[in-house]
Amino acid sequence: MTTLFLIAGEPSGDRLGAALMRGLRMLEPGVTIHGIGGPEMTAEGLESLFPMEVLSVMGLTEVLPRLPDLLRRRDEAVEAIAALKPDALVTIDSPDFCLRVARRARAARPDLPVVHYVAPSVWAWREGRAAKMARSVDHVLALLPFEPPYMEAAGMSCDFVGHPVVAEPQATDAELAAFHAAHGERIALVLPGSRRGEVSRLGPIFGEALERLPDDTRVVVPTVPHLEGTLREMTATWPGRPLVVTDPAEKRAAFGAATAALAASGTVSLELAAAGTPMVIAYDMSWLSWQIISRMMKIDTVTLVNLVAGEKVVPEFLGPACRAEPVGRAFARLLTVPSERERQAAALGQTMERLGRGGEAPGLRAARSVLAQVTK
């Protein structure tokens, strides 16, 4: 029977890992899985080597004080892999930690197959990351359909396994009807980010952009619990009687019922596409960050819907262009002109198809790919 060691270092990886575990058990019920994960992987039966939360550290100022502990956790993981002698190591996202573990585990056991789940976005910037990763990774599981050639060019095999967004549940007709009955027909979703820094920078711009919306618009702001208080205070003076929601079922209904959305750049564009909600994307950062990143970028759009669909159908306002007046004009037009929404509809559906909707679940495809590496 196959024995695997899985490592996830943050919530998004924990979700991918849990779906992968379900897929592995469907294909090989006797598979043995050890490793590091969070509550979702634990719910699937994983006994985590240590709490995943100790790895969920972002930013230089946060990492430096924690560095001795992170290095100790890295060594602890490497020792556990050496003792277990698994048939393969599967690292899931969190490259800063995962690839350091993989490199040391491979140094101790050169024949250990290593699979990394989530390809680095070398198609956007820092293409050298793939070549560096190839030193300790054999095979990559990609979320986006255009990623395998980039990984293969760096010397790794790669399978597109589908994006997890295609397996997310969508609101039922009854839930949509109830949401409209409670909040009206014209729903404007506003999503200024999931990090406090994003919200503080984008929130005022988004709020001012809403001044152009029709009077019958209800503004709904889905967010995460730790930002609820901040957004309630921030949106108190916005037009549209803003409703801040954190309940997952209510957020799902809001995504499905929305006429259109104004959102920060990120994977939320795929969540909106999955719900069939047309969108305007906007994102701003410090002047220095924009100068650096804009020079490093290899693509002319950062919106994943545009990238997967292969056309710039979603309007985006980035850096110096992220200003209330042009953003507000584009959002008001999307909310009030049906042809503008229809223009996006086909691209949203095409994006979901290309990401794997209607096919085998991504977790099952990922499991099939992992087991194929073990039996090579």
Q: Rounded to whole angstroms, what are the CA distances from 123 to 160, 226, 291? A: 15, 33, 19
Dihedral sign for Cα 152, 153, 154, 160, please: negative
Query: What pLDDT, on a 0 to 100 scale, did the predictor assign at position 290?
Result: 61
Q: Average pLDDT, whole number, for the chain?
A: 91
For the domain that residue 201 is a member of, what is the CATH number?
3.40.50.2000
13 within domain boundaries: yes
44 plus 101 within the same structural domain = yes
Please report, as a single letter, which amino acid is at residue 40: E
**Same domain, yes or no, for 206 and 328?**
yes
Mean pLDDT, residues 220-235: 94
User: Of all residues in the chain, what percent carry a pLDDT higher than 70?
Assistant: 92
Give pTM, 2 decimals: 0.85
pLDDT of 145: 93
Same domain, 149 and 220: no
Same domain, 201 and 140: no
pLDDT for the residue numbered 61: 44
Tokens representing 135? 């030193």
* Range(s) of the domain holding residue 214: 173-354
8 & 112 share domain: yes
Residue 319: inside a domain, yes or no?
yes
Whether residue 348 sits in one domain with residue 362: no
Residues 369 and 350 in one domain: no
pLDDT grade for 198, boundaries at 50, 70 and 90: confident
Residue 59: the pLDDT is: 43
In a domain, 275, yes or no: yes
> How do residues 343-364 score in pLDDT, each as one tens digit?
999 999 999 999 999 999 999 9
**Domain-located, residue 168:** no
Q: What is the DSSP string of 87-142?
A: SEEEEES-HHHHHHHHHHHHHH-TT--EEEES---TTTS-THHHHHHTTT-SEEEE
- Whether residue 138 is found in the same domain as residue 179: no
Question: Are 11 and 155 in a shared domain?
Answer: yes
Residue 239 counted as domain residue: yes
Label residue 68 exposed, middle or buried (CB < 10 Å: 0-12, 13-18, 19+).
Answer: exposed
For residue 258, give the nearest of 151, 366, 184 by alpha carbon: 184
Radius of gyration of the chain (CA): 22
Q: What is the mean pLDDT of residues 259-266?
A: 93
Q: Is the distance from CB of 357 to CB of 165 less than 8 angstroms?
A: no
- Judgement on whether residues 154 and 205 belong to the same structural domain of the protein: no
Question: In this structure, is residue 317 part of a structural domain?
Answer: yes
pLDDT at 58: 46
- pLDDT band at 124, cuts 50/70/90? low
Is residue 167 assigned to a domain? no
User: Nearest 5°: phi and psi at 247?
Assistant: -65, 130
Co-location of 246 and 342 in the same domain: yes
The residue ranking higher by pLDDT, 286 or 114, is: 114
Q: Which CA distances in Å does 176 have to 23, 88, 240, 253, 340?
A: 31, 44, 19, 6, 22
Q: What is the mean pLDDT of residues 67-71?
A: 81
Q: What is the pLDDT of residue 60?
A: 44
Beta strands 218-222 and 243-245: pairing type? parallel
Q: Are residues 145 and 213 in the same domain?
A: no
Domain assignment of residue 225, yes or no: yes
Structurally, how many domains does the chain consist of? Answer: 2
Tell whether the model's pLDDT for residue 62 goes beyond 60.
no
